[in-house]
Structure 1
Amino acid sequence: MTPIMLELLIRSLWETVLMTLASGVISLVAGLPLGLALVATARGGIAENLWINRVLGAVINGFRSVPFIILLVALIPLTRLIVGTALGTWAAIVPLAIAATPYYARIAEVSLREVDRGLIDAVRAMGGNRWTIIREVLVPEALPGIVAGFTVTLVTP
């Protein structure tokens, strides 16, 4: 392997790692609150609001059902607005993050739904508000699934 090819290989590997990590962090930061919102606004949730739940679920399902290459092309104007270009490593992060966020939101939602309902009821009975339930019960109890889902999200796109 020539030195030029080796340099290109190393640079390409670094760009791949950068795109994966940046889009992964964005999907975590945006996807976890979306998953929490889906669980909280669901029927019987801590902030039940079926209208918000259905709209949010429809938007998430809409983005999840679009093939990535179509999403990539459709997001070119937004990518140019955010990054200033539609080509390159930084430009690829925008569609990758937008594609990974709803995917991770659904994974987080599944993990959060598995939290024992009795724990939530116990915190409510002790006077805990919504934020206490989220911070002290939902996220800590679902953390193994949240971390596993994040790992799957990182390797999927």
Structure 2
Amino acid sequence: MLQGIIKRWKRVMLLCILIFSVSVLIGIVAGFLGDYSTFRPKEAEMLDIFVNNTKICIFIIVSGLLTGGVLSSIVLIINGYIIGIVIYGAIADYGFLPILTGLMPHFFIELAAIVSCATVGFMSSISFLMCIGKWSKLPLPRLIKDGTILILIAILLLLFASWVESNISKVVL
């Protein structure tokens, strides 16, 4: 089932990853050019992390559905840019170890959740493209089922990423 969803939405997911990745690189360059403050990580509890990330994901989904994915893209750009600046600031101030111990343990799990939500956010524009014949047809019940499954997967990923971030990801400065 999940394999079919990934196959159907692969192009949208790859677009979301590309938008985010380019934004991270831009954030790193901006940090290099002086647009960062000193890196000072803060400890956070699992519930706080989960609630914060869930709010962001809900915004990505709702705003994306209302704007055909435009606001989802903007959130991906902003989030990627901030992560890029944090990466640069951490490396500039403390070396690569904080990235390995503080960011990487939960980064890809959280990114998969965010990409899942952004994919759902793009579903209204994809539906429009299907209606005008620019995208292969997908029955509405399948579209709704795929979106629901992606949201459920995102919630599970966010829970797991929050646990990893609060219990495993550690920054030792």
Same fold flag (TM > 0.5): no
TM-score range, shorter chain: 0.3 to 0.5
TM-score, normalising length from structure 2?
0.37
